[in-house]
Amino acid sequence: MFLTADLLTGEAALAAIQGVRRACRREDGRDPLDEAADLLLKHHGISGIDAWVTSDGFALRHDGSLDVAVAPRAREHGLGGALAAAALAAPGPVTAWSHGDHPAARELAAVHGMARARELWVMRRSTALPLPAVALPAGVSIRGFAGADDVPALLAVNAAAFATHPEQGSLDAAGLAERMAERWFEADGLLQAFDADGSLLGFHWTKRHDADHGEVYVVGIAPQAQGRGLGRALTIAGLDHLARRGVREVHLYVEADNAPARRLYEGLGFDHAAVDTHVQYARP
């Protein structure tokens, strides 16, 4: 299949992208776009994005990333391959996520010389499981987000904690504001741990997706505070917060090769199923 001049642009393209996403969520149980791409479209449209959009599928290339999705009704007819070929025709490094390690994504990656680079696990836990008590080091206290005065320290700890993380470490004030403007944001769900002198040591940002489902969104510990058990304490505090809000299940995302984090989460009752594996492919 070859793409024709019938590609959509502007508002028509945005509407088609949202329609394909809804169809994919209904059929696959997951969104083909991650949060970063979702926020990019929401706040900036397709301005600055190389976009190939039809009524049944799309390819979006932006910031070195590629997102390709095809509506279930149009699959197995070559549309995904045509979209990927168009988007990958230009040279340069590209990464692309396969949400759910889909066989079609593996085939497309092989065709275009993209290698498996990262695995991201989704781990899940029922809030019916009992939680251990929160054990904080002496002099450390936890409170929720209190407003603009908390932002500089929060961004600084996030940048230091995720200095080697390709997505989370780049969070800036604008990106933080975009996330805090989302309907799910709750100030008391952004738990922050402070030392006796008032310095921020770490945080656990929780997310409540709906009445039944919550997420360990981000846990970040300042490098100088690591090794004091704060990651575990903040994780437990956030899980307790979500349980008190009435959610039935909590999930999180963790790099498959992050053995210490996996041990922590497994010790708190999280488990992982093979279908909950996301794979990133990369082209140098």
The CATH number covering residue 24 comes to 3.40.630.30
Number of domains in the chain: 2
Per-residue confidence (pLDDT) for residue 84, from 0 to 100: 96
pLDDT of residue 66: 97
Q: If you average pLDDT over residues 108-134, what whole number do you get? A: 96
- Phi/psi for 156 (5° steps) reads -65, -45
pLDDT band, very low/low/confident/very high, at 4 (cuts 50, 70, 90): low
pLDDT, tens digit, 9 for 90 and up, residues 51-61? 999 999 999 99
Between the two ends of the chain, the Cα-to-Cα distance in Å is 26
> Which of 66, 90, 113 is a domain's end point?
113
Report pLDDT for 60. 98
Per-residue pLDDT tens over the stretch 184-202: 999 999 999 999 999 999 9
267 falls within a domain: yes
In this predicted structure, what is the pLDDT of residue 104? Answer: 87
Task: Report residue 1's pLDDT band, with 50, 70 and 90 as the boundaries.
Answer: low
The answer to whether position 263 is within a domain reads: yes
Longest dimension (CA), the chain: 66
Of all residues in the chain, what percent carry a pLDDT higher than 90?
90
Report pLDDT for 5: 59
Q: Give dist(CA 108, CA 133) in Å, integer.
A: 47
> How far is the C-alpha of 25 from the C-alpha of 31, rounded, in Å?
5
229 three-state secondary structure: coil
Judge if 140 and 100 occupy the same domain: no
Residue 100 has pLDDT above 90, yes or no: no
- pLDDT exceeds 80 at position 152: yes
> Which H/E stretch holds residue 255?
strand 249-255
Rounded to whole angstroms, how far apart are CA atoms 238 and 244? Answer: 10
**Do 76 and 216 contact (CB within 8 A), yes or no?**
no
CA distance 50 to 60: 6
Q: Which of 90, 113, 136 is the last residue in one of the domains?
A: 113
Report the distance separating Cα 280 and Cα 251, nearest Å. Answer: 19
Percent of the chain with pLDDT over 70: 98
- Residue 224 to residues 154, 268, 273: CA-CA distances in angstroms? 15, 24, 34
Q: Under a CB-based contact definition with an 8 Å cutoff, are residues 98 and 105 in contact?
A: yes
Is residue 221, in this structure, part of any structural domain at all?
A: yes
CA distance 128 to 187: 24
3-state helix, strand, coil in the chain (%, to 5): 35, 30, 35
CA angle 13, 15, 19 (to 5 degrees): 115
- For residue range 225-243, what is the model confidence (pLDDT) as tens digits? 999 999 999 999 999 999 9
Question: What does the alpha-carbon distance between residue 70 and residue 78 come to, in Å, rounded to a whole number?
Answer: 10
Mean of pLDDT values over 22-48: 93
**Rounded to two decimals, what is the model's pTM?**
0.91
The reported pLDDT for the residue numbered 169 is: 87
Closest CA to 100 of 22, 185, 34: 34
* Predicted local confidence at residue 15, as pLDDT: 97
Is there a single domain that holds both residue 255 and residue 140? Answer: yes
Do 272 and 141 share a structural domain?
A: yes
Residue 167 is predicted with a pLDDT of 83
> Residue 2's pLDDT is what?
60
Cβ burial, residue 259 (10 Å; 0-12/13-18/19+): exposed
Domain assignment present for 5: no
* Judgement on whether residues 133 and 272 belong to the same structural domain of the protein: yes
Q: Are residues 89 and 137 in the same domain?
A: no
136 shares a domain with 89? no
Identify whether residues 92 and 67 lie together within a single domain.
Answer: yes
Q: Categorize the per-residue pLDDT at 165 as very low, low, confident or very high, splitting at 50, 70 and 90.
A: confident
Q: Which residue has the tokens 């029922």?
A: 126
Q: Which of 94, 113, 132 is the last residue of a domain?
A: 113
Domain limits for position 137: 124-276
